[in-house]
Each structure stands twice: as structure tokens, then as C-alpha cells.
Structure 1
Amino acid sequence: MLQAPIDAKPELPTTAAVMVSAAYRNASTTVAPQTAIVMAFDRVLLNLKRIIAATEARKFDEAFNNISHSAQILRGLAQHLDAERGGAMVERLRSLYHRHIMAMYLAMGKPDAIRRYTKLAEGLAELRDAWAVVAKVPTRFSPSTPQQPQ
């Protein structure tokens, strides 16, 4: 029977959500929290653009990796909602984030996947712009705003 060396250090549990939370905390120390949320949505939207391109190219592993990254971001956003301050709105947002996560995974491999991803991107772009108004940063469709981060 094989045994681990005595000096082996146990691995610390590092879930994707923990990493996203850490990234959010890091971003929130350099930019306003609302701006960090907008930046997170920008990344999800960029990922959706990449998911569509990968799906068109039949690179499903690449699409899956971008879906997983987007899900991590949305889970991180859901975890940072403050139920005490946000009340019912927090539950609606949390539910919305989780529905989008499920929709991204469920669209994979479907004949109309690109249409589904496009529709998800449209909805998330609207939500991103709502947060942009709160953060007092440009919306995606204002003339001074770059369309997507690269």
C-alpha cells in the first residue's frame, strides 16, 4: 500500500468561486465596487463572444472553458450580494446569475447554441449597462466606450 510522505502538505481547498471572490476583492480595492462589477460583466461578455467563436469553429473544449470561467465570475458576483442591504432585489439578482450559468451550460452542443449564447449576451449587456449607470461609467453603447475588452 502506498502512503504519502510524512512531510507532504495537504492541499488547501481552492474552488473557482474562492478565486473569483479574491479577484473581486482585489479589484474592489483599486476601483469602486460597482466598477468592479461592470468589469466582471465585461469579462463575461468577452467570454460569450469567445464561446460563440469556439462553437462556430467546433472547438467545444475551448467553449466549455470559457463557459466555466463565466460561471465562476457569475457565482462570485452572486456570493457578494448583500441580502441585508438589497432585500428582494438580491434574491432576484442571485437567481438571474444562476439562471444564466445554467443556460450557458445547457446551450452547449445544442443546434441553436449560437442563438442562445447571443441572447444571453444581449441580456447580460443590458444588466452590465444598468450597473454602469450605477457606477457612473460609460455604457457599452455610448460613443466613448470601447465595445469589448480584448
Structure 2
Amino acid sequence: MNNNRLVVSYILWLACFMGFGGLHRLYNGKIGTGLLWFFTWGLCGIGQFIDLFLIPSVVEEHDLRLQARSGRLPQPLPIPRATPTPRAVPPTKDQLTLNLLKAAQKRGGKISVTQAVLDTGASFPEVEKILQEMVKGGYADPENDPSSGIVIYNFLEL
């Protein structure tokens, strides 16, 4: 804080006893309230009395504004704000079934659970449940791959 500015501000504050209230505010860049204090005799002396205790913070605020304008005040680093990642709405059972059928169609009508999980983004239990329902409904036929033993769901209509 600039001690010279603080001393001058207190001297200007004393000018209220000569009928010139608010000069300390004008000196520290508070033009609006300075004029208000000047024309109302420091808000009938109440504002002037309160300013006796507020002058150090008013002077410090003015010094910071002057430093910022002249570029001598180091700019604070921006605080990174976490942006929430949008959560995907889980597909409905019908959407997942359709996605499974499209994935099987791309693979020639045959798909494994792992391939279905990769193609749809659904979880293993979700995919297995839908595929088992399709088997029960007669839409798919499970078979084991002869070389790996992996269960492959064969959609004959695709």
C-alpha cells in the first residue's frame, strides 16, 4: 500500500471539518460517492465517520487498480474449471436389439458376445440377455465355433 497516498487521504478526510466532505474519495477514484459525500456533507457526517476506518482499504483498492492499468500487477493464472462430460443415455432394450441385429448383419449374420459388446458399447450381461431372448424367440441359433469354441449367434434371416 502506498503510505503517501494513505497520509494524503487522511488529510483530505480532515477537510470535512471545513465543509469539504468526500475529497478523500475523489482522490482515490471513487468519483460517484465522492460527489455524493461532497454535496451531502459526508452523508450528514455518518459516511464521513465510517470512512475514517475504511480509508486504508479504499487506498489499497485504488493502488491495485492503478497497478493493473499500468501493467505492473501480475495477472492471476486462470483456474481451470472442470467441464462435466455429457453422459450418454443408455439405449432402450429395443434400441439395443436393433443395434445387435445391425452388428450381426455387418458380420454376415453371425456375431459373438464380445463382438456385439464392441459394436454396441453395451455391457456383456446386457448383450447376453438380449441374445438369449432372441434364441428363445427363435430369431437366433447359437453354435460353437469349431476352432475356438466361442459361442456364435447365427441369425438365419440375415
TM above 0.5 = no
Shorter-chain TM-score category?
Answer: under 0.3
Higher RCO (Cα < 8 Å, 6 or more apart): 1
User: TM-score with structure 1 length normalisation?
Assistant: 0.21
User: TM-score with structure 2 length normalisation?
Assistant: 0.20
Considering fraction of residues, name the structure with more strand: 2
Task: Please tell me whether Structure 1 or Structure 2 has the larger radius of gyration of its CA atoms.
Answer: 2
